[in-house]
């Protein structure tokens, strides 16, 4: 939407679209080139050659690690995977029908009480807190989900990667290397994305000189929304509703006639295609073929073709990610927590960057209500 000229002659852009709200050296989105980079590295190369641990290090520290640095960083993550026993005990009292994002948001807030650096605000203290959050969030997600289903939470692995550990904690069996590698690549693609809604809310919170946990709690609340992190859940539910390849064409055409919101399509930054979706799409089909669930890839292709033809909209990263997670046997209700599991590295990097060069984020608004009203005493109204 174009900027609107208001009474004060200041400009207004709905949703802050096109407004530069800050400076950052963490990632760059280049819509015209359909390109996304983390600290200058193309996400295509990172997802193909690196691991989530490498990318988390890159986002937090600013450079790719050498072998020794990566080993130390990975060991630190493994060491911090366990969650405090009182917090684990408290999960028993969460309602069984609570949404996993609500459980995660509340758990992260509680987790802050047990962090030895909770009162520390230095760069080093924030790095330590960030690494603990990256390490513990997979444990929180898996433990709260299993307990909500009446299952016993598992002890974190001490000899597996970040991706392998989460899949083990959730399902109780160590995944094969191909499966964990595909999952790892989704985490890399979800790890960071500029001033998106959840990241911006985290930076706003941090700009008040609040702490990292408060900022991440705010980000989690923002991510829950279906126009942000919740889109992957709704995209898969949409595919389930369609159910069969033979129903896909009529379903999407009817949905468009009824002006339904088609989840997993369109992106404010990418008008010509989300580069992350382009990476994940062939992975989704390959997995679907491997696990003999190819119909989900076929339905997706039909929806993509019609959405592009009728609405000029391309799929965003949530669309193929939903298929990947479903074929891997992951519960739909934890797709958004998985998004958070990945994005915690980006959130933490942004909070640290904000605090390192802080200025309170306090935009102005244009008043649009009535003016010059006369007060009438309550007995005369």
Q: Specify whether the backbone of 264 is left (phi greater than 0), alpha (psi in -120 to 50) or beta.
A: left
Q: Could you confirm whether 234 is annotated as catalytic?
A: no
Given the residues 115, 184, 211, 318, the one annotated as active site: 318
Q: Are 133 and 108 in contact (CB under 8 A)?
A: yes
Q: Which of 273, 278, 279, 277 is nearest to 48 (CA)?
A: 279
Which ranges in 19-122 belong to alpha helices (H)? Answer: 43-49, 52-61, 67-79, 85-90, 100-111
CA atoms of 119 and 336, how far apart (whole Å)? 29
Q: Note whether 275 and 36 are within 8 A (CB).
A: yes
Q: How far apart are CA 124 and CA 354, in angstroms?
A: 14
Cα dihedral 205, 207, 209, 215 sign: positive
DSSP 21: -
- Give the pair of three-digit tokens for residue 73: 């960083």
- Catalytic-labelled residue, pool 162, 267, 274, 350: 267
- Active site annotation includes 267: yes
| CB crowding 70-106: b at 16 or more within 10 Å, else e | beebbeebbebbebeeebbeebeebeeeebbbebbbb
- The residues annotated with a catalytic role in the active site are 267, 318
């Amino acid at each position: 939407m174009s900027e609107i000229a208001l009474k004060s002659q200041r400009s207004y852009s709905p949703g802050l679209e096109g407004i530069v709200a800050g400076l950052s050296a963490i990632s760059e989105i280049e819509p015209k080139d359909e390109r996304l980079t983390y600290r200058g590295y193309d996400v295509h190369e990172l997802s193909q050659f690196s691991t989530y641990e490498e990318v988390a290090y890159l986002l937090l520290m600013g450079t790719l690690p050498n072998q020794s640095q990566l080993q130390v960083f990975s060991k630190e993550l493994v060491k911090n995977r366990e969650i405090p026993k009182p917090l684990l005990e408290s999960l028993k009292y969460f309602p069984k029908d609570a949404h996993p994002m609500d459980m995660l948001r509340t758990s992260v807030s509680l987790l802050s009480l047990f962090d030895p650096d909770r009162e520390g605000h230095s760069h080093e203290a924030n790095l330590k807190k960030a690494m603990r959050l990256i390490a513990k969030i997979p444990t929180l997600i898996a433990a709260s989900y299993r307990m909500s289903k009446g299952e016993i939470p598992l002890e974190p692995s001490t000899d597996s990667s970040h991706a392998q550990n989460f899949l083990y904690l959730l399902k109780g069996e160590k995944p094969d290397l191909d499966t964990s590698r595909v999952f790892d690549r989704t985490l890399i693609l979800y790890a960071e994305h500029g001033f998106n809604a959840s990241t911006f809310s985290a930076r706003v919170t941090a700009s008040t000189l609040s702490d990292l946990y408060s900022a991440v709690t705010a980000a989690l609340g923002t991510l829950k929304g279906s126009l942000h992190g919740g889109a992957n859940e709704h995209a898969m539910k949409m595919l389930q509703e369609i159910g069969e390849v033979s129903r896909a064409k009529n379903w999407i055409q009817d949905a468009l006639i009824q002006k339904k919101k088609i989840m997993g399509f369109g992106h404010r930054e990418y008008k010509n295609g989300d580069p992350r979706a382009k990476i994940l799409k062939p992975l989704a089909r390959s997995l679907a073929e491997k696990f003999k669930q190819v119909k989900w890839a076929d339905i997706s292709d039909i929806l993509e073709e019609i959405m592009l033809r009728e609405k000029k909209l391309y799929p965003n990263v949530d669309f193929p990610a939903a298929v990947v997670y479903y074929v891997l046997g992951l519960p739909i209700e934890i797709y958004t927590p998985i998004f958070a599991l990945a994005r915690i590295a980006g959130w933490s990097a942004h909070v640290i960057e904000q605090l390192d060069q802080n200025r309170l984020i306090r935009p102005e608004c244009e008043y649009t209500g009535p003016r010059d009203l006369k007060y009438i005493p309550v007995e005369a109204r």
